[in-house]
Amino acid sequence: EIVLTQSPGTLSLSPGERATLSCRASQSVHNNYLAWYQQKPGQSPKLLISGASRRATGIPDRFIGSGSGTDFTLTISRLEPEDFAVYYCQQYGDSPIFTFGPGTKVDIK
Amino acid sequence: EVQLVESGGALVKPGGSLRLSCTASGFDFSNVYMNWVRQSPEKGLEWIALIHRDVDSRPSLYPTPVRGRFTISRDDSRNTLYLQMNSLKIEDTAVYYCSSQGYLGELTGWGQGTLVTVSS
């Protein structure tokens, strides 16, 4: 089973700053099938990135996914007020078919 | 626009059963793999079932914690996804989401969720 570890647990930043979120897998992610989601309180997760680096439809280009194998990064180049949320990574392909990381909370400093 | 609307969540006693439904619109439901994912404070996001398209004729998939107790199904004529949950345990307490799946294994659309509480 692939285990995803996200760091840091919480990131305290100010609007306009750059956020760098890490997702590390215990084994290589099949075909880099790694996705990122944003979740705000009381809402369901929203897809940001698929295939490690492809932005979903309508996602601003300040969200940048990168990485391969076991190490992946979500960068938010310049935080907007609406970006403060919890971010999850998710892999697809190994048993169990989907696993999620525990999340990184980006909060306002 | 993709819309997924879950229903059926309730308070149920341990050992009980419940069926969740998810009505889809805004996309070609019959041509999409569908999933159920749950979320609880204790376990975070947890995938619990995947169903392929009818044309694929492939078995549905489940993780160990729910295999043999939960059954996912779909009715493409009604654009509806189901989750039959039997032998419910306290640890099944969570918000349950249905989700559509993309080609790279991403979960492209999510419903608003329905709360299942298992308690005596």
Of A45, A50, A103, the CB nearest to B104: A50
pLDDT at A1: 87
Nearest CA in chain A to B110: A44
Contact of B61 with chain A, judged by CB distance below 8 Å, is answered with yes
Closest CA to B101 of B42, B41, B43, B61: B61
Best probe of the A interface among B107, B108, B112, B114, by most A CBs < 10 A, is: B107
Best probe of the B interface among A98, A99, A104, by most B CBs < 10 A, is: A98
- At B89 the three-state DSSP class reads coil
Kindly determine whether residue B44 and residue A90, on different chains, have CB atoms separated by under 8 Å. Answer: no
pLDDT beyond 90 at B9 = yes
Read off the tokens for A71.
């190490």
pLDDT beyond 80 at A2 = yes
CA–CA dist A108, B95 (Å, integer): 27
Report yes or no: B68 and B80 within 8 Å, Cβ to Cβ.
no
Residue with tokens 């048993």: A95
Give the distance from CA A46 to its chain's centroid.
11
pLDDT tens digits, A52-64? 999 999 999 999 9
pLDDT tens digits, A22-52? 999 999 999 999 999 999 999 999 999 999 9
A96 pLDDT tier (thresholds 50, 70, 90): confident
> With contacts defined as CB-CB under 8 Å, which chain A residues touch B110?
44-46
pLDDT beyond 90 at A94 = no
Residue type at B54? D
pLDDT tens digits, B63-104? 999 999 999 999 999 999 999 999 999 999 999 999 999 999
Read off the tokens for B36.
């159920």
- Angle at CA A102, nearest 5°, toward A52 and A2? 60
pLDDT at A93: 87
